[in-house]
Amino acid sequence: MKLGINKWADSPFGKNVSNKSSFFIHNLSFAESYDSISLQTILPTILSITPKLQILKRYYLCPMHIDILTVLPELLESPFRHSMMKRAQEKGILSIAVHGLRKWAVNEYGQIDDYQYGGGAGMVMMCEPLAKAIEELSQQRKFDEIIYMTPDGNTLNQKTVNNLSLKENLLIICGHYKGIDQRIRDHFVTREISIGDYVLSGGELAAAILVDAVGRVIPGVLNDETSALTDSFQDNLLAPPVYTRPEDFRGWKVPDALMSGDHKKIDEWRLEQAIQRTKDRRPDIMNE
């Protein structure tokens, strides 16, 4: 369990936390020698009780951290600086670090790729820079998953997204050219993810999509209004249609049920619509 004391300093509790107790939380392995109740023992239980406590855990104990390894760090500069990803980072629930792989290049020319054995067009990303980068970053934190973004990985879905959102530390590797040397996949990578059956010129945009999808469902990122629970796919149903003012636009009316003010009726209408929409468009997800 790790927690920078500065996390507490930024928190609403910061001013009230004594040095002793912040140290106490900071390094739980010293907890028993420090205070009467063993926080170390009860904390996991407390944290698993309710989603609200999951949120507290994200805030004060273990925000999610995502490292991204790429040859094109510039490509990932903007995607996380807006909207929810920005808010998650400002709230201290999520931190993202993009690393340029050339930092670990094999020579002063910044080489990170080479011709493929057996011949054929296209370069392959070499073992050495990737292995060095992964090992260096692994010394800073223990990764729950080392993910390689690749069109031949498992297709991303909401279930995987939800699952990843509960992890603490992720490392995402963006492939380029013909991809990365198979030995890195065999010996370091724990998960391979594709975002669909088409080929992109690199894994960066796919990584941005993965981080966005994971970031928005991390406990505490969304408020009730934007709750992920009403998203498409969360309950194997697509979301129902939505409407806003005006009630009548060019003679196109908002469905009566939504204007009824009867919450039971509204819920029933939404469920009906969601089921119908899913049957029409994505019958495949209904029985997953």
Classify 155 as helix, strand or coil.
strand
Pick between residue 152 and residue 247 the one whose CB is nearest to ligand 6GU. 152
Q: Which residues contact 67 (CB under 8 A, 6 or more apart)?
A: 96, 97, 99, 137, 141, 143, 169, 170, 171, 172
Please select the residue that binds ligand 6GU; options are 70, 150, 158, 278, rule is CB under 6 A: 150
The smaller minimum CB distance to ligand 6GU, of residues 31 and 149, is found at 149
Q: Closer CB to ligand 6GU, residue 28 or residue 173?
A: 173
Interface with ligand 6GU (CB under 6 A), residue from 206, 221, 222, 274: 206
* CA 164 – CA 217 distance, rounded (Å): 9
Part of the chain binding ligand 6GU (CB under 6 A), chosen from 23-31, 114-122, 202-210, 277-285 = 202-210
Under rule CB under 6 A, residue 71 binds ligand 6GU: no
Q: Is the peptide bond before 129 cis (omega within 30 degrees of 0)?
A: no
Cβ atoms of 99 and 137 within 8 Å: the answer is: yes
**Integer CA distances (angstroms), 248 to 95, 219, 258, in order:** 44, 37, 13
Q: How far is CA 37 from the centre of its chain?
A: 34
Shorter beta-carbon distance to ligand 6GU: residue 178 or 282: 178
Using the minimum distance from each CB to ligand 6GU, give the nearer residue, 63 or 151. Answer: 151
Report the amino acid identity of residue 14.
G
- Nearest CB to ligand 6GU, comparing residues 149 and 237: 149
Contact call for residue 172 and ligand 6GU (CB under 6 A): no
Per CB under 6 A, 173 contacts ligand 6GU = no
CB of 101 to ligand 6GU, least distance (A): 15
Give the Cα-Cα-Cα angle 118, 120, 122 (nearest 5 degrees): 120
Q: Could you give the count of Cα atoms lying within 13 Å of 44 in the half-sphere of its Cβ?
A: 4
Indicate the length of the chain as a whole number.
288
SS3 70: strand
Which of 92, 100, 110, 202 binds ligand 6GU (CB under 6 A)? It is 202
Question: Which position among 20, 78, 142, 198 is part of the footprint of ligand 6GU (CB under 6 A)?
Answer: 198
70 binds ligand 6GU, rule: CB under 6 A = no
Q: Hey, how many other C-beta atoms are within 10 angstroms of the C-beta on 96?
A: 20
- What is the rounded distance in angstroms from the CA atom of residue 145 to the CA atom of residue 133? 15
**122 binds ligand 6GU per the rule CB under 6 A:** no
Give me the least distance between CB of 160 and ligand 6GU, in Å please: 13
Q: Is 203 in the site for ligand 6GU (CB under 6 A)?
A: yes
With beta carbons less than 8 A apart as the criterion, state whether 278 and 237 touch. yes
For ligand 6GU, the binding residues (CB under 6 A) are 149-151, 175, 194-196, 198-200, 202-203, 206
